[in-house]
Structure 1
Amino acid sequence: MRVLVAGATGAVGRLLVPMLVAAGHEVTALSRTPAGVERIRGLGAIGVRADALDATGLRQAVRSASPDVVMHQLTDLSDADGTANGRLRREGTRNLVDAAKAAGVGRIVAQSISWAYAPGEGPAAESVPLDGTATEPRARTVAAVRALEETAAELETAVVLRYGLLYGPGTWYAPGGALAAALAGDRSARFLGSTVANDAVGSFVHVADAAGAAVAALDWPGGAVNVVDDEPAPARAWLPALARALGVPAPEPVTGRQEWERGALNALARSRGWRPARPTWRTGFADQMVRG
């Protein structure tokens, strides 16, 4: 299969590209920079310089690649800038889908998130609607996610992967990452997360498991799928465990959560054959210290 990967040098993309190559796919991957293109070529894929916010250049890149499927792994999180990431979700997705249409591509696999669900009790399945009651700043995040998913759905088959909180190499939760710095008292640490060990329930997924789900999704039917591990958990449980694994001070547990902080269920992904190699953050956090 000919696969075009947008967002190939991000935390998921850099693991996804070699997985696709190893699976025998013909992979074209995009980067905004010459250095990124060289990294892609080193992974065995065809590297092309293109910017998702440049509609004309992106259309040319997709047309030249002539893919069977477009893989959307675009994010803009290196500076923890929610506004920039929201713009990429809206405008980058719009440009990528328009480019796919122009090239006759009918299938897309797109990265989304699993914490944009409406408030409620218990972890959310995919049948739960996106949050239509959120106030700012969450409302901006949900609106951008909704735009991404609705735009992707304009193609004949759109598989939307609602990832959990990503940990592992290149993420905020990795050793030496932004969360470790914040817990160690570095006030300059920037990330779009929390250091409060409260009752807020989150769902995690290791970046390698997220990338593996994207490969598997090449053959999945359209629709949204939660890609999370088996154990949604409150921050008062997982945050001290992560702090211990990172060797930084653990925050004191407190009570309270927002009603939308409910985690997500992975039953649908499992029914399609996906199995996370790290089924729980309890072992996964420590594992990333050893294997990265």
Structure 2
Amino acid sequence: MKIAVAGATGAVGRLLIPLLVEAGHEVTGFTRRASSAARLEAQGAKAVVLDIFDRKAVFAAVREAQPETVIHQLTALGERDFAANAQIRTLGTRHLVDAALAAGVRRMIAQSISWAYAPGEGPASEEEPLDLEAPAPRSGTIQGVHALETAALEMPEAVILRYGLFYGPGTWYAPNGFMAEEARRGGLPATDGVASFVHVHDAARAALLALGWPSGAVNIVDDRPAPGSEWLPQFAALLGAPAPPRQPGAARGERGAAGAKAKRLGWQPRLADWREGFAATLG
């Protein structure tokens, strides 16, 4: 299959490209940095340097690649540029979807998040609504996610991967990542808010498998949603950071997500419990 991957050198993309090539697919990787092109070529993909906000360039790149599937793994979270990340979800996705439709692409697989659900009891399933009534500042995140998912679903076939919090290499939860540094300086309170995690390698495998999944949203999370009062002390201890301060309460929508649908579709996380995963990646 001919596949174009937008965000090919991000936390998921850099792991996904070799999986796609190994599976026999012809892959074109879009990256915003010319310095990343050589890495993509070494992985067996054709590299295209692309500004996702340049509409004409996106149309030209997709038309030239002639993919059967476009995989959208674009974010600006590595740089913690939240304004750019929101723009990627809205304008960037709009350009990518319009270009794909114009080129006759049938399928899109898009990266979304699993903590955008409306408040409720227990881990959220895919049938539950997004938190479209959220107040600011959460409303900005939800509106961006909604725009991304709504645009992607204009494709004839679209799989929305609602990922849990990434940990592992190249993520905020890596030993040299942003959250690790925050933990070391004592800046992360342990709250009652529940999070769902997923190792970035498992996230990449889900994108590979999604090539054959039916359209719709799928939570990609491990088997153990946990409150911050449970996971954060272990995270800090493995880093040699001070014990986090305890802060009762939870932010809106911090309920975790259920991963049963992904398992029915054939995905099983190799690291099904963040406790095991944290020990393997931080210990």
Letter matched to residue 255 of structure 1 = P
1:11-30 aligned at under 5 Å gives the runs 11-30=11-30
Is 1:262 aligned with 2:262?
Answer: no
Contact (CA 8 Å) 1:243, 1:250: kept in 2 or not? yes
1:37-64 CA-to-partner distances (Å, cap 9, x unmatched) read 1111111111111111111111111111
Is 1:278 aligned with 2:247?
Answer: no
Letter matched to residue 280 of structure 2 = D
Q: State the Cα distance separating 1:254 from its structure 2 match.
A: 3.0
SS at match of 1:221: coil
SS at match of 1:27: strand
Residue in 2 aligned with 1:287?
A: 280
Distance 2:174 2:43 in 1: 22
Residue in 2 aligned with 1:191?
A: none
Could you say what the CA RMSD is over the residues aligned between the two structures, in angstroms? Answer: 1.2
1:213-232 aligned at under 5 Å gives the runs 213-232=206-225
Contact (CA 8 Å) 2:186, 2:241: kept in 1 or not? no
Q: Which 4+ residue blocks in structure 1 deviate beyond 2 angstroms?
A: none
Residue in 2 aligned with 1:57?
A: 57
1:199-251 CA-to-partner distances (Å, cap 9, x unmatched) read 00000001000000000000000000000000000000001111112221220
Distance 1:15 1:133 in 2: 35
Letter matched to residue 172 of structure 1 = W
Residue in 2 aligned with 1:101?
A: 101
Residue in 1 aligned with 2:83?
A: 83
Distance 1:36 1:55 in 2: 21
Contact (CA 8 Å) 2:184, 2:240: kept in 1 or not? no
Q: State the Cα distance separating 1:149 from its structure 2 match.
A: 0.1
Residue in 2 aligned with 1:200?
A: 193
After the TM superposition, which of the residue ranges 199-208 and 49-58 deviates more from structure 2? 49-58
Q: TM-score, normalised by structure 1?
A: 0.95
Residue in 2 aligned with 1:238?
A: 231
Distance 1:47 1:241 in 2: 40
Q: State the Cα distance separating 1:79 from its structure 2 match.
A: 2.7
Distance 1:247 1:270 in 2: 35
Q: Percent identity?
A: 55
Contact (CA 8 Å) 2:186, 2:244: kept in 1 or not? no
After the TM superposition, which of the residue ranges 122-131 and 43-52 deviates more from structure 2? 43-52
Q: Identify unmatched segments of 5+ residues in structure 1.
A: 188-194
Distance 1:79 1:31 in 2: 15
Aligned length: 283
1:104-145 CA-to-partner distances (Å, cap 9, x unmatched) read 001000000000000111010001100022111100000000
Distance 1:31 1:198 in 2: 37
Distance 1:218 1:110 in 2: 11
Residue in 1 aligned with 2:177?
A: 177
Q: State the Cα distance separating 1:259 from its structure 2 match.
A: 4.2
Letter matched to residue 44 of structure 2 = G
SS at match of 1:158: strand
Distance 2:156 2:29 in 1: 22
Residue in 1 aligned with 2:39?
A: 39
Distance 2:209 2:184 in 1: 38
Contact (CA 8 Å) 2:13, 2:204: kept in 1 or not? yes
Q: State the Cα distance separating 1:186 from its structure 2 match.
A: 8.2
SS at match of 1:78: helix
Contact (CA 8 Å) 1:120, 1:259: kept in 2 or not? no
Q: Identify unmatched segments of 5+ residues in structure 2.
A: none
Residue in 1 aligned with 2:48?
A: 48
SS at match of 2:282: helix
Distance 1:239 1:20 in 2: 34
Distance 2:241 2:88 in 1: 33
Distance 1:185 1:252 in 2: 11
